[in-house]
Amino acid sequence: MRFVLAATGASGAIYLQRLLDRLAAGGHEVHLLLSKYARVVVAEELPGGLRVPPGIKEWRGDASMHVPFASGSARFDGMAVVPCSMGTLARIAHGTSETTILRAADVFLKERRRLVLVPRESPFSLIHARNLVAALEVGAIVVPAMPAFYHRPQTVEEVADTVVFRVLDHLGVPAEDAPKWQEAPAAGE
């Protein structure tokens, strides 16, 4: 499958790294874009920087419109913005389209293709909440960077994967090894 993976300047570069590794291991075609502030966050949060697996197409800069996914005529299966800053969320929700990432998101929305946003901020202001609603109203899938703990993750990577697995589900490439919720009632129920 063909995906666009964009990263912006919110905390959570580990989600980007884990998702990139999964998509590369699955043999998918991945076009990677980082905003200027995504690079700042990666430098803060990932010792050694982002590892871009072989086969991933990384586009340098976030200004060009000469990329295949800036046009609706190129067929792609999905786009994820991981992590998604509240600024980028706002700009996507309002269709400003002035950078490569924003134009790509705009194209995925107009073409009714999967667009998965992984916002991270705490607490939310009313502006953030309204922009989340606006993004949902225009068809984005919002998978907040809210890890789950019911499978008792033992490492930071396992915690991050609770979010990454949800993103993969919504991109249409569910991970075989993602823990499933047990249908049998737990002790004490």
Ligand X SMILES: Cc1cc2nc3c(=O)[nH]c(=O)nc-3n(C[C@H](O)[C@H](O)[C@H](O)COP(=O)(O)O)c2cc1C
Smallest gap from residue 28 Cβ to ligand X (A): 24
Evaluate whether 96 touches 102 at the Cβ level (below 8 Å). yes
Alpha carbon distances (Å) from 49 to 17, 36, 99, 100: 10, 14, 23, 22
189: amino acid identity, one letter? E
State the nearest-atom distance from the C-beta of 87 to ligand X, in Å. Answer: 4
Contacts of 181 (CB under 8 A, 6+ apart): 150
| The one among 3, 5, 8, 92 contacting ligand X by CB under 6 A | 8
Provide the minimum distance between the beta carbon of 147 and ligand X in the complex, in angstroms, as a whole number.
14
Q: Which listed range, 37-45, 51-59, 164-172, 174-182, lies at the site for ligand X (CB under 6 A)?
A: 37-45
Q: Which of residues 73-112 bind ligand X (CB under 6 A)?
A: 85-88
Binding segment (CB under 6 A) for ligand X, from list 5-13, 109-117, 152-160, 181-189: 5-13
Query: Pick from 41, 105, 135, 171: which binds ligand X (CB under 6 A)?
Result: 41
Size of the site for ligand X (CB under 6 A): 16
Q: Does 117 bind ligand X (CB under 6 A)?
A: no
5 sits near ligand X (criterion: CB under 6 A): no
**143, 31, 96, 133 alpha-carbon torsion, rounded to 10°:** -10
User: How far is it, in rounded angstroms, from Cα 118 to Cα 128?
Assistant: 13
How far apart are alpha carbons 166 and 110 in whole angstroms? 23
Residue 10 binds to ligand X (criterion: CB under 6 A): yes
Q: How long is the chain?
A: 189
Under the rule (CB under 6 A), what is the footprint of ligand X?
Answer: 8-11, 35, 37-38, 40-41, 44, 85-88, 120-121
